[in-house]
Structure 1
Amino acid sequence: MIATTRDKDVVVLELQREDRRNALDVELCRAIHTAAGQAVADGARVIVLTGKGSAFCAGADLGGVYGSEFLDALYGMLRDLTRLPVPIIAAVNGPAIGAGTQLAMACDLRVVDQTARFAVPTVRNGMAVDAWTIRTLAQLAGMGPARRLMLAAESLDRDAALACGLADRAGTLADAIAWAHEIATFAPLTLAHNKLVLNSSHDDDSAIATSFAAVWASADVQEAAQARLEKRPPVFKGN
């Protein structure tokens, strides 16, 4: 259901429900949660998430989305992705519809290929998404595109997503992995702090203050200073 591959500090997670266009069900949501958490536990500095075949994620598997078990699995997984202390890049290879758009937004950065498309067509199926989804969509894409997606059931293709800010770069999975390797050379504690602030609310002020202090007390700060003196790239260890 999920393939995990590792190249040095980068872990690639590939959704493998190709026969269902990688639609999310309870099992796949739990598998994403487990695989991402395991990647961090094993020392990954960046995660790349993509889908096998012609779709990133076609949304929720409509055969089983009406129960609380699915909603708990979906929103628990999305929430936990935003809380992981490493950057996650979505390599969007084709449609990311409904829960697929939510999954891409739970990632920190989005690389989109020629066939990428985003939509949240809840008004067509009588369903609803949570406030985090709608507000995050508005923050990333802007209020105008968010209103058109949520109220008029429109979609955004690759170029439109890039233009409004929902997508960050055009490219393939290989491009996303190359970007991940670049980011993996950056200071892990600083990356974790920045992600925490970007994804947090004022309720997290205590955690942010602790993270801020940990960055400035880290050995990586000293390593960066020493590297500048020695005119070499710093080697960050995350401590």
Structure 2
Amino acid sequence: MIATSRDDGSDVVVIELQREDRRNALDLALCEAIREAADAAVAGGARVIVVTGQGSAFCSGADLGGVYGPDFLKALYGMLHHLTRLPVPLIAAVNGPAIGAGTQLAMACDLRVAADTAKFAVPTARNGLAVDAWTIRTLADLAGAGRARRLMLAAESLDRDEALACGLADRAGTLDDAIAWAREIATFAPLTLAHNKLVLNGSPDDDAAIEQSFAAVWASDDVQEAALARTERRAPVFRGR
């Protein structure tokens, strides 16, 4: 259901959804497995997490053969919102269609690398379901209000090129390209990345945490390491402390 691997020689962990027979559709167990795998990656020292799908689909949405009940909704939205709160960046390697909950999973990641077969859609108007306000507002923030209205009200989809043009996807590329980008990001200052992500994804309720995070960055050893690296004309080695 889930495969987790660590990229050789880096602090990058790849989480692969492995329900290829269901085009990686999300059910309650898979939602919980994604959350647990992400937490385990962070606990194991990952500085960047890459999420992708096995086979030709990133994630085809919620499993239509499953049960749409409170337990599934709690697992789905608990997982999505939890990913946005993790202290490390997540990159979605969108290797194929990301439909419904697949688009939501891609948006819960911080960056999206899209293959030429990638497609994004949230067709709730076609199946009588609903997504939470975070999904719709995040979609509008990333893709723009006009395209969000097309996806949510006209049940249209965006292909890779349009997703890139509007900002829903950040780069074109494969899983290997996503891992290469993750390797680069993994060399950056972890406390700074965590602070930036907290501000980008946070709410007014996070103001105290943001102030504490800001102070921690400026008081960190990594600030001194960056200054020393500049004088020694070398790349800094950040420790996250």
Q: In which range does the TM-score fall when normalised by the shorter chain? A: over 0.9
TM-score by length of 1: 0.99
Q: Is the contact between residue 3 and residue 16 of structure 1 (CA under 8 Å) also seen in structure 2?
A: yes
Inter-partner Cα distance in structure 2 for 1:80 and 1:65:
22
* Post-superposition offset of 1:211: 0.3
* Post-superposition offset of 1:202: 1.1
Inter-partner Cα distance in structure 1 for 2:74 and 2:225:
42
Inter-partner Cα distance in structure 2 for 1:193 and 1:81:
15
Q: Secondary structure of the residue that 2:102 maps to in structure 1?
A: helix
Matched, 1:177 2:192: no
Structure 1: 5+ residue stretches without partners: none
Inter-partner Cα distance in structure 2 for 1:40 and 1:214:
19
Inter-partner Cα distance in structure 2 for 1:233 and 1:50:
30
Structure 2: 5+ residue stretches without partners: none
Q: Secondary structure of the residue that 2:98 maps to in structure 1?
A: strand
What per-residue deviation string (whole Å, max 9, x for no partner) do you get for residues 116-175 of structure 1?
Answer: 000000000000000000000000000000000000000000000000000000000000
Task: Give the letter for the 1:162 counterpart.
Answer: L
Residue of structure 2 equivalent to 1:137? 139
Q: Following superposition of structure 1 onto structure 2, how do residues 160-239 of structure 1 map, counting pairs within 5 Å? A: 160-239=162-241
Task: Give the letter for the 1:48 counterpart.
Answer: V
* Post-superposition offset of 1:22: 0.1
Task: Give the letter for the 2:104 counterpart.
Answer: Q
Q: Which runs of 4+ in 1 moved over 6 A?
A: none
Residue of structure 1 equivalent to 2:63? 61
Residue of structure 2 equivalent to 1:85? 87
Inter-partner Cα distance in structure 2 for 1:125 and 1:45:
38
* Post-superposition offset of 1:45: 0.3
> Match for 1:50 among 49, 52, 69?
52
Size of the alignment, in residue pairs? 239
Q: Is the contact between residue 112 and residue 167 of structure 1 (CA under 8 Å) also seen in structure 2?
A: yes
Task: Give the letter for the 2:48 counterpart.
Answer: V
Task: Give the letter for the 1:54 counterpart.
Answer: S
Inter-partner Cα distance in structure 2 for 1:77 and 1:231:
42
Q: Secondary structure of the residue that 1:147 maps to in structure 2?
A: helix
What per-residue deviation string (whole Å, max 9, x for no partner) do you get for residues 83-113 of structure 1?
Answer: 0000000000000000000000000000000
The share of aligned pairs that are identical, in percent, is: 82
> Match for 1:127 among 126, 129, 132?
129
* Post-superposition offset of 1:65: 4.1
TM-score by length of 2: 0.99
